[in-house]
Amino acid sequence: MKIALIGYGKMGKTIERLALERGHVITEKFSTNNPFLNQKEVEADVAIEFTEPSLVVNHIKHCNTLGLPVVVGTTAWYEHFTTVVEDVKSKNGSMFYATNFSLGVNLFFLANEHLAKLMNAYPEYTCSIEEIHHTEKKDAPSGTAITTAEGILENHSNYNQWKLSENSDKTIKIEALRLPNVPGTHHVIYESAVDKITLSHEAKSRDGFALGSIVAAEWLFSKKGVYNMKDLLNFDKS
């Protein structure tokens, strides 16, 4: 498969290494010095996009214009989600999006939803989320933390919103820490007067996220429409 990389930072380089190991070809590498939006055609079967929130929407729309399927790893753009999906469908395009491509994180999401259903019966426990990322991560809270919070809101009747660093009634507090040289870590915490229950995921490297995006690209190849990790992993059928 021919892959174009939109974004060639640390994640892009990791995707390149793992894609080559899986027998794929990297045909294009777009970055600040070689902007994707300047391209009128791209020789690739699929693009994998890891850039910045301010760029991603235009990148997706340009992929749609070029007829290039795109796997989107950038987060913090979902306020434009409806508009983007309409653009994908109107141009008969293909998009795969996820707040996190790691298999382990997606199992964490599933466990989080199940735990929220169980904890719904125990209002004496308050729920909060803590996420830790490196100082280079620009969005806070992370897309992974937001997806985690949304999983709780869908399954726990005691909460109707999440807020960053704020405790209030029916609110899940998300604490977003940015520290140097740390792995991405997410904790869901249920705490009562007598004990604390913690569900955690800690990434050891970028490889899990990068590999997941490549698997998504392999899966998206030849498909039309909008998909996410639940489609790929069939979690709704589990």
* 119 and 163 share one domain: yes
Are the CB atoms for 94 and 225 separated by under 8 Å? yes
Q: What is the pLDDT of residues 153-172, one digit of tens each?
A: 999 999 999 999 888 889 99
Same domain, 197 and 214: no
Catalytic residues: 133, 137
**Domain match, 187 and 70 both:** no
Do 134 and 78 lie in one domain? The reply is no
Instruction: Tell whether 97 and 213 lie within a shared domain.
Output: yes
Domain that includes residue 147, residue range: 103-202
Same structural domain, 151 and 215: no
- Strand, helix or coil for residue 127: strand
Residues 6+ apart with CB under 8 A from 63: 6, 47, 49, 69, 70, 93, 95
> Per residue in 192-230, pLDDT tens?
999 999 999 998 888 999 999 999 999 999 899 999 998
pLDDT of residue 181: 79
Stretch 27-49: mean pLDDT: 96
Does residue 230 sit in the same domain as residue 164?
Answer: no
pLDDT for residue 158: 94
Global pTM reads: 0.82
Does one domain contain both 130 and 164?
yes
Q: List the CATH number of the domain containing 49.
A: 3.40.50.720
Number of domains in the chain: 2
On whether both 168 and 88 belong to a single domain, the answer is: no
Same domain, 88 and 127: no
Say if residue 180 is preceded by a cis peptide, omega within 30 of 0: no
**Mind listing the pLDDT tens digit for each residue in 102-153?**
989 999 999 999 999 999 999 999 999 999 988 777 778 988 999 999 999 9
Question: Radius of gyration of the chain from Cα atoms?
Answer: 19
Same domain? 94 vs 211: yes
- To the nearest 5 percent, what fractions of the chain are helix, strand and coil? 40, 25, 35
Check residue 25 and give its pLDDT: 98
Q: What integer pLDDT is reported at residue 137 of this predicted model? A: 75
Torsion angle (degrees, nearest 10) of CA 35, 12, 203, 228: 70
* pLDDT, position 236: 59
Q: Are residues 94 and 117 in the same domain?
A: no
CATH number at residue 161: 3.30.360.10
The answer to whether residues 147 and 189 touch, using CB atoms and an 8 Å cutoff, is no
